[in-house]
A and B are shown apart, each in its own frame.
Chain A
């Protein structure tokens, strides 16, 4: 059907159609961005390292050489050896095992809390920016007020009220992190809603919710993803801080934050107890930052050179 129709039409437009390389399907902007990301060496290294860490974290119960709470007080802060790769801690527990388990907690907190903050922040920001006017002012003043509250105060209240619970920790950290996300998304949405494709959708009678979720949010995911890679390390650090205060992960469970604070105590006797968890955390943060940088460049169409 289309053949007979196309042959009746003439014009340069159609001949250009055949020049397109891709015959089967389209190249989405996401695929394009991914291709650009692969060209960035540091981002690829960072991404690979993170992927490896996540795999290790998932596999930890099967690959960990020791039980994470098995104590052996005769092996008090041993140096790294063939039996204990990272040495042992102040209670003679295998540090390698504990770093693996700590990574599980830290990464889980980082990723889940970031997802919580993204879910709240993106929805809130998009609605605020799209509706505009008084609703927008009100919603943003609420954000301002929350900004003014010290986050630790909020977390402490949540933890005390609902009891200490690792999952609640995700929610609590996520709930303190969504504010900046909401502002970023709101700004994006305000500029996006003036775009003609959004106005076209409005004039076609597309529902507001559809416009928000199908046009506005997908088009501001770039900055959201970049900001998320920066939220993950913030959350990991905050969890370390909370654990240090005794509000986070409870012993004998460990996160990188608690391992580091334990390591600090014996740093003068055996620096490796501090060094290994600190390196694990440091390398993760570096990787996340490199990946974030790479993603920002890859998703920004203006920075695209090819």
Chain B
């Protein structure tokens, strides 16, 4: 569990926003991802949580180069992924695959399942028809769909089945890293569990590393080894799944964790919620100082002036909050 397969350093994704007539006025930037550093070890699943618009999807898409990162580095197995161009980039894409949120949009409606699954193989490998068929059937079996699905079109399947097809497509090239962008949030709750179990099983079987993006904390807790919490384009807390849930440090994480319902009515009644008040500030116009200061119950004057850095709190745990630092210093 020690070799790093993916390392993201100070990644920034800023979208230019046009304002005013003919671009005469100042150019503004929407800072979707603003300096994120994460490392992913072999076989590890990193959960990425945050509310809508916090930049978690932008981060995932920037890593896989669907969005153009503004600054920063992404290394896959030590290779600078962002420096690759043209044919080299195309080849390198086999190592990192993505599963999309919407299984209705991520499969071409005019292709049969066979065509969908053969596409990545055709793009990268020169296989005979037989070899190709074999690999497609293996991929399909891995997501437990039957062979006769091959001749069918995506619209003939349910949402869960479509997501299985999408997973099979992501696996057919045998990638090392999988980025799952809210793969279960558009599915039924009962189907969500199936897909989660499937992902977990496949990940363990193949020794994949995975970045799992979601806004549902229970889902992330179930599947992840480590969890990173994002707020307004920055990581505010990152740590081991168990300890992060048991003792969340950042006030935002505390609020998130306290918002998870407990599936036991007696305990649920005693659950104390830390309510986060106010709206999420616009990433176009983030607050000065700590991004969370407008909604933070602990905010003091310093938080409105300076932005805290992500500091080590304990073993493998990083928190970005002045109050937490103070507490740690007092101990």
B residues 53-72 touching A (CB-CB < 8 Å) = 64-66
Q: Does B124 contact A (CB under 8 A)?
A: yes
Q: Which of B112, B152, B169 contacts A22 (CB 8 A)?
A: B152
A12 to B101 CA separation, bound complex (whole angstroms): 20
A218 to B115 CA separation, bound complex (whole angstroms): 14
Q: Identify the stretch in A73-81, A137-145, A201-209, A237-245 within 8 Å (CB) of chain B at 4 or more residues.
A: A201-209
Given A28-B110, A219-B108, are A203 and B97 also a contact pair (CB < 8 Å)?
Answer: yes
A26 to B150 CA separation, bound complex (whole angstroms): 9
Q: Which residues of A contact B106 (CB under 8 A)?
A: 196-197, 200
Using CB atoms, name the residue of chain A closest to B161: A13
A205 touches B108 (CB 8 A): no
Q: Which residues of A contact B158 (CB under 8 A)?
A: 13, 16
Q: Which residues of B contact A306 (CB under 8 A)?
A: none
Is the interface on chain B under 10, 10 to 19, 20 to 34, or 35 or more residues?
35 or more
A204 touches B93 (CB 8 A): yes
Contact code string B86-110 (vs A, CB < 8 Å = 1, else 0): 0001111110111011100111111
A26 touches B112 (CB 8 A): yes
Q: Identify the stretch in A2-10, A34-42, A45-53, A116-124 within 8 Å (CB) of chain B at 4 or more residues.
A: A2-10
Q: Does A268 contact B (CB under 8 A)?
A: no
Q: Does B3 contact A (CB under 8 A)?
A: no
Given A5-B141, A203-B64, are A13 and B194 also a contact pair (CB < 8 Å)?
Answer: yes
Q: Does A305 contact B (CB under 8 A)?
A: no
Q: Does B19 contact A (CB under 8 A)?
A: no
A residues 12-29 touching B (CB-CB < 8 Å) = 12-14, 16-17, 20, 22-29
Q: Does B329 contact A (CB under 8 A)?
A: no
Q: Which residues of A contact B66 (CB under 8 A)?
A: 199, 202-203
Q: Which residues of B contact A9 (CB under 8 A)?
A: 144
Q: Does A1 contact B (CB under 8 A)?
A: yes
Q: Which of B105, B109, B120 contacts A205 (CB 8 A)?
A: B120
Q: Which residues of A contact B102 (CB under 8 A)?
A: 196
Q: Which residues of B contact A22 (CB under 8 A)?
A: 152, 156
User: How far does the Cβ of B289 sit from chain A's closest Cβ, in whole Å?
Assistant: 35
Is the interface on chain A under 10, 10 to 19, 20 to 34, or 35 or more residues?
35 or more
A204 to B89 CA separation, bound complex (whole angstroms): 10
User: How far does the Cβ of B57 sit from chain A's closest Cβ, in whole Å?
Assistant: 12
A1 to B141 CA separation, bound complex (whole angstroms): 8
Using CB atoms, name the residue of chain A closest to B109: A29
Given A205-B90, A206-B119, A219-B108, are A13 and B160 also a contact pair (CB < 8 Å)?
Answer: yes
Most chain B beta carbons < 10 A, residue from A27, A28, A197, A203: A197
B120 touches A26 (CB 8 A): no
User: How far does the Cβ of B181 sit from chain A's closest Cβ, in whole Å?
Assistant: 9
Q: Which residues of B contact A20 (CB under 8 A)?
A: 152, 156
Contacts A17-B149, A200-B107 supplied; 15 other A-B pairs, CB < 8 Å: A2-B137, A6-B146, A8-B144, A12-B190, A12-B194, A16-B161, A20-B152, A23-B148, A27-B153, A196-B105, A200-B98, A205-B89, A205-B93, A205-B123, A219-B108
9 smallest A-B Cβ distances: which pairs? A205-B93, A26-B152, A9-B144, A196-B106, A196-B105, A25-B151, A205-B90, A204-B120, A197-B108
A-B contact pairs, 10 of them (CB 8 A): A2-B147, A13-B158, A26-B152, A27-B153, A28-B112, A29-B155, A201-B108, A203-B66, A205-B123, A218-B110
Residues of B within 8 A of A (CB): 64-66, 89-94, 96-98, 100-102, 105-112, 119-120, 122-124, 137, 140-141, 144-149, 151-153, 155-156, 158, 160-161, 164, 166, 169, 173, 190-191, 194
